[in-house]
A and B are shown apart, each in its own frame.
Chain A
């Protein structure tokens, strides 16, 4: 089994890694992410079956990452790692979610790991998403306009005018109603600022304004594309995100 560890502090991250190596030597740690944005990105590139998420992380909190994970077609199992005093703790207990407290104790972690192995084959928990929705604040503060600089000129792009964002090496291409622009903020960081209801990630390197999507077309068993209102290009939908388009 593959696993991902995310904690914004190095010592707890490494402590967990060491404890996992002791208690579950066969577990393969594919990524140790230093914030929520990296955790999400690392998940998309490795697709581990198990994620250990710290709650308080910059970029995306552990709860926000978990909510994105829960929306996927095949969500991984999630174990929250948290220090005493988190308001979410009682909700975890009530919702029977897996969590371990920092500093991580071997006995407690072993117990959680046993539960995870038993559940590995079972269906994903349906209630996770509902619970996370309740824990997370309803809306992020409204996003400020995107500032794209070209030479001496800085263009301000209202978020709702954006048609889609596309990752371009270390930059992000912004295709908007008034043309195209290149910004320096990496896509994965931008993701954390965007309203997830409006902007849908359909691919590791593409985020689309859902109001601009005209249709989703299945090409074959594995591939899907979306078409956009008033534009020619088709954007790929990777397998992970195909669950977004189910029909009603």
Chain B
């Protein structure tokens, strides 16, 4: 006994077989929607027809019509149960179906043999066949349940992994704190701290606020326009300190739009683009204007610069296609993000 218990055998498998893992409705809906493999039906039907044909001549004459009827009933029942188990593979259902099949066979045998006292040579073949079919059905069901549980488990793990990757990518895409911005800002700050330049303190403060205000971008699906504008304001304050006279900027937002929710980083991406493609490449610098207003029933957000930027969508403006996709995700097809040339400069416009 001790040896057997050391083997770690699960004795319940002896009378209540099957995997312990069960799935919630949500899990089944997510990972268990694969269709029943139709090939199994043909395989079972063809096998049983072949087996029965081969023993047809050995079958007692009076019972021959019953043979086909019995086989057809077994096949129909076995496959119907298998389909149910495919949809919801649990140990409980497997065993309930299993016992529900075995008991009538046992009872029927007992009644026919012991109560009605039918002759043995008449009963032997049908009873053996019924027993064989019962065992086969049960084994088939067991296999379906075990494999199916593994399949759903694997699919769920796969989907989880995929979700994690998507979430991470979204966070990174959202955060978009470009290392270039980070390190260039640190370079300026370091110099101003070293030389005790009065620009050090306010710039460090704006930079810290920028970083802090971008943190919710990691956690939340949407930001209010007011929050988004705050991030943009801190960002422009930092850039202003770095670029000096080369940058002028203004934000003009209708307070009625403060509560508008946006995918995090929507405006910031446009402003970063205006800096990177408009102001920084321009020898004389330029001006950035951020505007949020109602035009008719539409909310319109605009970022315009009068810098050197080529307005055509260059492939490096990855942020834009990303922003566009996120806007469509939140607002559907009515969301529009367009770029147009201003000569000089560029206008990015979002209509919601």
* A-chain residues with CB within 8 Å of residue B182 when the two chains form the complex: 84
Stretch at the interface among A12-20, A69-77, A233-241: A12-20
Closest to A38 in B: B283
Total B residues in contact with A, Cβ cutoff 8 Å = 26
Flag if B194 contacts A15 (CB, 8 Å). yes
Q: Total contacts A to B, CB within 8 angstroms?
A: 65
Flag if B183 contacts A84 (CB, 8 Å). yes
Q: Which one, B191, B244, B280, contacts A103 given CB within 8 A?
A: B191
Flag if B283 contacts A18 (CB, 8 Å). no
Flag if B310 contacts A9 (CB, 8 Å). no
- What is the 8 Å Cβ interface bit string for chain A, positions 36-79, against chain B (1 contact, 0 not)? 01000000000000000000101100000000000000000000
Decide yes or no whether A141 CB sits under 8 A from chain B: yes
Within 8 A of A (CB), among B137-187: 178-180, 182-184, 186-187
* A-chain residues with CB within 8 Å of residue B183 when the two chains form the complex: 83-85, 101-103
* A-chain residues with CB within 8 Å of residue B192 when the two chains form the complex: 11
Flag if A11 contacts B188 (CB, 8 Å). yes
* A-chain residues with CB within 8 Å of residue B190 when the two chains form the complex: 15, 103
Q: What is the bound-complex CA distance between A15 and B192, given in angstroms?
A: 9
Q: Is the interface of B mostly helix, strand, loop or mixed?
A: helix
Decide yes or no whether B328 CB sits under 8 A from chain A: no
Q: What is the bound-complex CA distance between A141 and B310, given in angstroms?
A: 10
A15-B194, A37-B283, A58-B281 known; A103+B186 contact, CB < 8 A = yes
Q: Which one, A9, A10, A14, A18, contacts B184 given CB within 8 A?
A: A9
Q: Which one, A8, A11, A18, A56, contacts B187 given CB within 8 A?
A: A11
* A-chain residues with CB within 8 Å of residue B85 when the two chains form the complex: none
Flag if B283 contacts A189 (CB, 8 Å). yes
Decide yes or no whether B308 CB sits under 8 A from chain A: yes
Q: What is the bound-complex CA distance between A86 and B180, given in angstroms?
A: 7
Flag if B180 contacts A9 (CB, 8 Å). no
A22 to chain B, nearest CB (A): 11
A10-B244, A84-B180 known; A102+B187 contact, CB < 8 A = yes
Closest to B242 in A: A9
* B-chain residues with CB within 8 Å of residue A181 when the two chains form the complex: none
* A-chain residues with CB within 8 Å of residue B187 when the two chains form the complex: 9, 11-12, 15, 83, 102-104
Flag if B191 contacts A15 (CB, 8 Å). yes
Decide yes or no whether A209 CB sits under 8 A from chain B: no
Within 8 A of A (CB), among B50-76: none
B191 to chain A, nearest CB (A): 4
A3 to chain B, nearest CB (A): 18
Flag if B195 contacts A9 (CB, 8 Å). no
Q: What is the bound-complex CA distance between A11 and B178, given in angstroms?
A: 19
Within 8 A of B (CB), among A182-221: 189
A82 to chain B, nearest CB (A): 9
The 9 closest A-B pairs by CB, nearest first: A11-B188, A85-B179, A15-B191, A103-B187, A102-B187, A83-B183, A85-B180, A11-B191, A103-B190
Please name 22 pairs of A and B residues whose Cβ atoms are closer than 8 Å in the assembled complex, sorted by A: A8-B246, A8-B280, A11-B188, A11-B189, A11-B191, A11-B192, A12-B188, A14-B191, A15-B190, A35-B283, A37-B283, A56-B280, A58-B281, A58-B283, A83-B183, A84-B180, A84-B182, A102-B183, A103-B183, A103-B187, A104-B187, A189-B283
A56-B180, A83-B187 known, 17 other contacts, Cβ within 8 Å: A8-B246, A9-B184, A12-B184, A12-B187, A14-B191, A14-B195, A15-B187, A15-B194, A58-B280, A58-B283, A85-B178, A85-B179, A101-B183, A102-B184, A103-B190, A104-B187, A189-B283
B interface residues, Cβ below 8 angstroms from A: 178-180, 182-184, 186-192, 194-195, 197, 242-244, 246, 280-283, 308, 310
A interface residues, Cβ below 8 angstroms from B: 8-12, 14-15, 18, 35, 37, 56, 58-59, 83-86, 101-104, 141, 189
